[in-house]
Amino acid sequence: MKLYCLSGHPTLPCNVLKFKSTTIMLDCGLDMTSTLNFLPLPLVQSPRLSKLPGWVLKDGSTFLDKELKECSGHVFVDSVPEFCLPETELLDLSTVDVILISNYHCMMALPYITEYTGFTGTVYATEPTVQIGRLLMEELVNSIERVPKAQSASMWKNKEVQRLLPAPLKDAVEVSMWRKCYTMPEVNAALSKIQMVGYSQKIELFGAVQVTPLSSGYALGSSNWIIQSHYEKVSYVSGSSLLTTHPQPMDQASLKNSDVLILTGLTQIPTANPDGMVGEFCSNLAMTVRNGGNVLVPCYPSGVIYDLLECLYQYIDSAGLSNVPFYFISPVANSSLEFSQIFAEWLCHNKQTKVYLPEPPFPHAELIQTNKLKHYPSIHGDFSNDFKQPCVVFTGHPSLRFGDVVHFMELWGKSSLNTVIFTEPDFSYLDALAPYQPLAMKCVYCPIDTRLNFIQVSKLLKEVQPLHVVCPEQYTQPPPTQSHRTDLMIDCQPPPMSYRRAEVLTLPYKRRYEKIEIMPELADSLVPLEIKPGISLATVSAVLHTKDNKHVLQLPPKPPQPPASKKRKRVSDDVPECKPLKPLLSGSIPVDQFVQTLEKHGFSDVKVEDTAKGHIVLLQEAETLIQIEEDSTHIICDNDEPLRVKLRDLVLKFLQKF
């Protein structure tokens, strides 16, 4: 069993597990932090961005000034943003049989894998994962494609050039592997390869392995996966949450008795308490609006936004914000809000009960009905007519490099009345803001990451007791910025095995058994013998059939009766067809009794000689010698088959067969 690690990002994993002749890809996360090195894509011409000075090397050479721009001491690539793909060279990805997706954030690299590597397998994901994943991809493609950029920078990627660049560009990894965003046809093609599954659905892979998604509690339809055969169990835990937000709670019990537990997707902000952050979010929002400022919330179109809207729903009246408009701007805003209401089966218990009434499970339905929340596909069109300030705008993308958020940053950045509140934990907010500096606008960082923290992990591990834990190397040491916090790492016994990008791990386990079925007819013919109290044995000689990785034992076919009348033509016809199977023997032969038996059977001239190890029985007349030792018997005789057979059967009487 081997694990190939294709991604270095602990929360956007991409691993390949080779297990019992199947090749299973676990998630295909897309590392989008690479986009932070690029200039934002403004929706309308931004004089500020277009006037940024080109970057000049220390020696004064300016050959890169078309590709690299400088803004407040940071250097950015002026090009279409590019993403860091999972490793594609570590193994032949066309051999991947299936891809298991744990949640919609971890499938963003799917089109790169399914459309460019010769992949011919199946992708498994839950229905909400597919639907919301599609929305995320649509939004991504849309926000990049609608701002066509002529320029595509590549010179800076040259290794010789990159060496000369300032950090973080200098340290960016695998820049030659960075790719532009996929297109909608590729998204559709990739999504068409997905087969939708439900929680606790057992899916057979080639009869060899069974995979099962389990609720992971992190997002709508998010799942952990069990990969098991009859004897081995691997749990893949990715992006799980024990907090009660909107999704169905995490299924922990089914993770028990794992041989290997692969643990990824823990919280990215282990020191922040999500509940506290939500409170801070609300109070900052209220304060800004009361002071006449606008609030910008860069966010994904699904996920935490549902929880934020629910909090605001409860909060706005008490905070006197009932007249402040909330805008949700995304090409998929409407779809996201609508989809959230129809996944009753994937929601937590409280929300399910609402559906039974029947009422929409999320209160944003009421916010929309009462016109408090309005959603628009983009800032163009209806929005510009309805737009009233002060207001609260939810829009993407959280990296602040593309999407409608870029426009609001340019629009509101100059006023200190306005506030931008970061809730998504995927991007460092300082890096995200870098190309907008200097900025008068207030910045609040309230990262809400509901995924497991280290305390919860150690509790979980104690409960499910896996034999081995495998995790990204980042989790085996304290965060680099807080090296004294030894509590911010996984602590378990035996210590976890860690992996890093482009590494191959051999997982510690040994398969010893396999399932086989004995057909009833064969079972009927078996003769069990009680060897010791409670232990019985039966020798089995049977035909093994193997089909679709399932093994079945059947009665051996009866040997065809040779036609008695016909005389055989050649000796070779007589050659035994299949190798006859004789059992092993065990036991020992008591010489005295053996001699008695021989005499009983008509051997009169039996002579016994003692040797160092046992005895020799001589049958003088027949010129036959039988060496009897503790665990062996050797019959040496002339070529007298009837005699030999007779002696053989007498010996066998004293031995047990296996």
Sites for another protein among residues 195-254 (CB under 8 A): 197-202, 212, 230-231
In 10 A of CB 357, how many CB atoms? 8
Q: Is 269 in the site for another protein (CB under 8 A)?
A: no
Do 404 and 43 contact (CB within 8 A), yes or no?
Answer: yes
| Rounded least distance, CB 511 to another protein, Å | 6
- Residue closest to 194 by CA, chosen among 124, 94, 113, 104: 124
Nearer to another protein, 311 or 518 (CB): 518
Among 546, 593, 596, 620, binds another protein (CB under 8 A): 546
Cross-strand partners of 498: 471
- By beta-carbon proximity to another protein, the closer residue of 506 and 632 is 632
Q: Is residue 110 a contact residue for another protein (CB under 8 A)?
A: no
Q: Which is nearer to another protein, 610 or 630 (CB)?
A: 630
> If binding is defined by CB under 8 A, does position 548 make contact with another protein?
no
Contact pattern from residue 394 through residue 413 relative to another protein, giving x for each residue in contact according to CB under 8 A and a dash for the rest = --------------------
542 touches another protein (CB under 8 A): yes
Nearest of 38, 60, 42 to residue 50 by alpha carbon: 42
Q: Which is nearer to another protein, 269 or 618 (CB)?
A: 618
Query: Is 518 near another protein (CB under 8 A)?
Result: yes
Cβ 509 to another protein shortest distance, Å = 12
Binder of another protein out of 48, 459, 515, 653 (CB under 8 A): 515
Residues 322-381 that bind another protein (CB under 8 A): 334-335, 338-339, 341-345, 352, 355-356, 358, 360-361
Nearer to another protein, 389 or 539 (CB): 539
Q: How many angstroms separate the CA atoms of 267 and 284, rounded?
A: 23
Instruction: Please give, one letter per residue, the 3-state secondary structure of 1-58.
Output: CEEEECCCCCCCCCEEEEECCEEEEECCCCECHHHHHECCCCCCCCHHHHCCCECCCC
Decide if residue 458 touches another protein (CB under 8 A): no
Here the tokens at position 276 are 């506290």
Distance CA 417, CA 56 (A): 35
Closest approach of another protein to the CB of residue 180, in Å:
28
**Tokens 């169905």 — which residue?**
248
Return the amino acid letter for 513: Y
Q: What is the C-alpha separation between 285 and 304, in angstroms, rounded?
A: 16
Residue 583, interface with another protein (CB under 8 A)? yes
Count the residues of the shown chain that bind another protein, applying the rule CB under 8 A. Answer: 101
Which residue lies nearer to another protein by CB, 149 or 193? Answer: 193
- From the CB of 419, what's the least distance to another protein, in Å? 31
Rounded Cα distance, 135 and 335, in Å: 8
List the one residue out of 278, 275, 222 whose CA is nearest residue 248. Answer: 222
For another protein, which is the closer residue by CB, 138 or 307? 138
Binding to another protein in span 606-635, by CB under 8 A:
630-635
Residue closest to 125 by CA, chosen among 233, 225, 7, 24: 225
Rule CB under 8 A: choose which of 523, 593, 607, 613 binds another protein.
Answer: 523
Residue 132 backbone phi and psi in degrees, to 5: -75, -35
